[in-house]
Structure 1
Amino acid sequence: MDKIPLVYASLGEKELAAVAEVFSSGWPAGQGPQGKALEAQLKERYGAGDAVAVSNCGAALHLAMLAFGVKPGDEVIVADYTFPAPAHAVRYVGGTPVFADVRPDTGTIDPEAVAALVTPRTVGIIAVDTLGLPADYTELQQIADRHGLFVVEDAACAVGATYKGREAGALAEVACLSFHGRKGATSGEGGALIAADPAIGADARQRSSFGIGSIYDQAQVIDMPIPEFTEIGYNFKLSDIAAAILQVQLGRIGELLDRRRAVAARYAELLADEELLTTPYVPADRTHAWQSYLVTLDPRVNRAGVAADLRAQGIGCLHGTWASHLQPAFDAKQNCPVSADLFRRNLGIPMHAELTMSQVERVVEVLRTAVRANAKPTGALKGAS
């Protein structure tokens, strides 16, 4: 029985050739020639004031909080239904994450929930392009402008997605990208901070290298300057090996996204008549990057049973993402009922650019059987997990 993995990175000969060039250059570390080339590529792609390549999206979010001066006592409103990296970033700098519930149709942060959470202590908003679908930035920016707040776009899952004709990664004054192994463009691990204001980019770049900037640049100066550590920084550099891979991946993003979109369209077509689950909704004013494909199970369906049946047939699956306010690390005294409901009922099924249509059809066949086998009779008590 052939296994169908949940995720699979589309890496090949072109990426290997790029790595070989780095090996030949003698500079595989961070902030070297390939890192600079990647940052230039990102800056042009997003029409940004600056772009800073970093080790992961969590590092980019952390640097964004530092650049905006978030401090103890400050509140930052964060999307609840997501991998909780935004809340971690706020806590890293001593701020308080305030969790905003999400829309039931898209799973993206609900602007009405955000507006209701603003207090005199609120300094910013971190929106998330949930699983590859951009949030409602027009409404979010209006709220931010009304209260003098910053907006950060967590576009970790959304490279290649669009909102009202604009690309995810260019929808707020700062955006944070991820190049993790399950993303549309990947180097295994990696990230970037995209800033409209060059000053924010310069701040992030300096802090990302222990506060002393690029060692590579300093090595090119004949009189051997000795840098001074004038502030506490971090080791968030992206290696030139990863940067070289990403330049190739970003050049392929159109091709890879087309494949993911074809998979998503086929899933939607094959599952349209299944009453025990619903497929993702994409508003007409945006496009999805399809980092993941989540179906929402009917409350009568036992998700754990479905997952066990899929995995027994060699088909990868996952719970979806997290209702962050329920995680013990945050000890949040909040209620986000929509997020909590999606957390209980969503199920991720295989989504990547290497899926064949015959594999998609097999996933749907096994999923349909599993859902029906694990559904309580109509009228039975709800509470499936």
Structure 2
Amino acid sequence: MDTIPLVHASLGERELAAVAEVFASGWPAGQGPRGKALEAELAERYGVGGAVALSNCGAALHLAMLALGVKPGDEVIVADYTFPAPAHAVRYVGADPVFADVRADTGTVDPQAVADLVGPRTVGIIAVDTVGLPADYAELQAIADRHGLFVVEDAACSVGATYQGREAGALAPVACLSFHGRKGATSGEGGALLTADPALAADARIRSSFGIGSIFDQAQVVGLPIPVFTEIGYNYKLSDIAAAILQVQLGRIGELLDRRSAVAARYAELLGEDELLTLPHVPEDRTHAWQSYMVTLDASVDRAGVAADLRAQGIGCGHGTWASHLQPVYEAKQSCPVSADLFERNLAIPMHAELSMAQVERVGERLRATIRTHARP
């Protein structure tokens, strides 16, 4: 039986050739020539003052909190319906995440929920482009401006998406990208911090390398330079091997996104009339990166039963993402009912650029049959 995985990275000969070049260069570690070239390319693509290539998006979020001066006792409002990396980053610096509920139609953070949560300890907002769909940045930035707050865009899932004609990753003064294996551009693992402020980028770059400058740069100096540790830093560097892969992948974003978009369009044709599920909603002022394709099942459908049947037939699926406030690690006292409902009813089905239309049609056919098997009267 043909297995249809939930996710699949689009990596091939061009990426292998780029890795071979790094091997030949003798510098596979971080902050070398390929990493610097990647940062320059990211800064140009997104029109920002600085880009820092990092080991993952969680590292980028952590460094953003440090560079923005978030400290113990502060509160940062975070989108609730997401992988909980934003809330983790707030906790890393000893501050308190405050969870904002989301829109029922898009799963992105609800600006009114954010506005209602602003208090005397609030210092900023982390919005999330939920599974590839940008949040409502015009409204969020207006709230931030009224209260003197920062806005960080968690664009982990949205490389290639747009909002009001601007590319995701350039929708807030600070943005964090992911290049994990299921993203639209990938090096297996990886991330980046993008910012309009070159000084903030410099702060993040130093902290990403144990609090010292680039060892590669210092190796080019005649004599015996001895690094000086100026900050308590972390080992968040992206290797030049991964950077080389990403340079190829960035050039392929349009091609890979077109293929994902074609899959999404076919799913809409196959599933759009089914009364037992709701398809993703994309507002007219934005486009979707389709990191994931999530359908919302009717409350009468047993999601666990559907998932078990699909997997038994070789079709990958997943629960979607998390209602962060429900995770035991936070012991949150808040209620985010929309997020909690989506957490219970969303189902992720196969979405990646390597899917054939025959596979997409098989997924659609089997999903429609299976949800009827598991729908309560």
Normalising by the residue count of structure 2, what TM-score does the alignment of the two structures yield?
1.00
Structure-2 residue corresponding to 1:245? 245
Aligned partner of 2:89 in structure 1 is 89
Per-residue deviation, 1:256 = 0.1
* Secondary structure at 2:127 match in 1: strand
Query: 2:62 — aligned with what?
Result: 62
Quote the residue 2:30 is aligned against: 30
Q: For residue 220 of structure 1, what is the aligned residue in structure 2?
A: 220
Query: Conserved in 1, the CA contact under 8 Å of 2:311 and 2:317?
Result: yes
> Partner residue of 1:6?
6
Task: Give, in angstroms, the shift of residue 229 of structure 1.
Answer: 1.3
Counterpart residue type for residue 166 of structure 2: R
1:183-198 superposed matches below 5 A: 183-198=183-198
Letter in 1 for 2:201: G
What's the secondary structure of 1:342's corresponding residue? helix
**Aligned counterparts of 1:182 and 1:173: Cα–Cα separation in 2:** 25
CA distance in 2, matches of 1:275, 1:201: 48
Q: SS of the counterpart of 1:7?
A: coil
What is the SS of the residue equivalent to 1:37? helix
AA partner of residue 324 (structure 1): S
**Separation in structure 2 between the aligned mates of residue 111 and residue 228 of structure 1, nearest angstrom:** 44
Matches within 5 A, 1:1-385: 1-377=1-377
Shift, 1:234, TM fit:
0.4
**Whole-angstrom distance in 1 between the partners of 2:210 and 2:12:** 33
* Partner Cα separation in structure 2 for residue 288 and residue 112 of structure 1: 22
**Do 2:51 and 2:194's aligned partners in 1 also have CA atoms closer than 8 Å?**
yes
1:92-130, CA deviations, whole angstroms, 9 ceiling, x for partnerless residues? 000000000000000000000000000010000000000
Q: Tell me the SS of whatever aligns to 1:376.
A: coil
Distance 2:150 2:218 in 1: 33
Output the TM-score relative to the length of structure 1.
Answer: 0.98
Deviation at 1:40, TM superposition (A): 0.5
* Aligned equivalents of 2:185, 2:375: Cα separation in 1: 37
Measured against aligned partners, the alpha-carbon deviations of 1:243-295 in whole angstroms (never above 9, x if no partner) come to 00000000000000000000000001110111100110000000000000000
- Give the residue type in structure 1 aligned to 2:343: F
* RMSD of aligned residue pairs (Cα, Å): 0.4
In 1, distance between residues paired with 2:294 and 2:15?
29
CA distance in 2, matches of 1:224, 1:270: 66
Rounded Cα–Cα distance in structure 2 between residues aligned with 1:208 and 1:291: 27
Q: Is the 8 A contact 2:206 2:231 kept in 1?
A: no
Please give the per-residue CA displacement for 1:133-182, whole angstroms capped at 9, x wherever unaligned.
00000000000000000000000000000000000000000000000000
AA of the residue aligned to 1:284:
E
Once structures 1 and 2 are overlaid, which stretch shifts more, 229-238 or 277-286? 229-238
Inter-partner Cα distance in structure 2 for 1:282 and 1:213: 43
Q: What is residue 383 of structure 1 aligned with on the other side?
A: none
Equivalent position amino acid for 2:281 in 1: Y
Higher mean alpha-carbon deviation, 80-89 vs 219-228, is at: 219-228
Q: How many residues align?
A: 377
Distance 2:362 2:32 in 1: 45
Q: C-alpha distance in 2, partners of 1:229/1:133?
A: 40
How far is 1:223 from its partner? Answer: 2.2
Q: Tell me how far apart the structure 2 counterparts of residues 256 and 231 of structure 1 sit (CA, whole Å).
A: 39
> In 2, distance between residues paired with 1:250 and 1:140?
28
* Letter in structure 2 aligned against 1:279: L
Q: Which deviates the most, 219-228 or 355-364?
A: 219-228
Q: Which amino acid aligns with 2:255?
A: E
- CA deviations on 1:42-79 (whole Å, 9 max, x unpaired) are 00000000000000000000000000110010000000
Give the whole-Å Cα distance in 2 for the aligned partners of 1:93 and 1:232: 13
- Could you tell me how far apart the structure 2 residues matched to 1:213 and 1:288 are? 37
SS in 2 for 1:255: helix
User: Which residue type is aligned with residue 226 of structure 2?
Assistant: I
Q: Whole-Å Cα distance in 2 between the matches of residues 298 and 58 of structure 1?
A: 33
Check the 8 A contact 2:56/2:191 in 1, yes or no: yes
Q: Counterpart in 2 of 1:382? A: none
- Gaps of at least 5 residues in structure 1 are 378-385
SS at match of 2:209: coil
Alignment match, 1:381: none
| Cα distance, 1:225 vs structure 2 | 1.4
Tell me if structure 1 keeps the 8 A contact 2:299–2:345.
yes
Task: State the distance in 2 between where 1:49 and 1:154 align.
Answer: 18
Q: Percent identity?
A: 83
Q: 1:227 deviation in Å? A: 1.2
SS across alignment from 2:139: helix
Q: Tell me the distance in 2 between the aligned counterparts of 1:239 and 1:184.
A: 19
The letter of the residue matching 1:292 is S
Q: How far apart, CA to CA, are the structure 2 residues paired with 1:205 and 1:229?
A: 13
Which 4+ residue blocks in structure 1 deviate beyond 6 angstroms? Answer: none
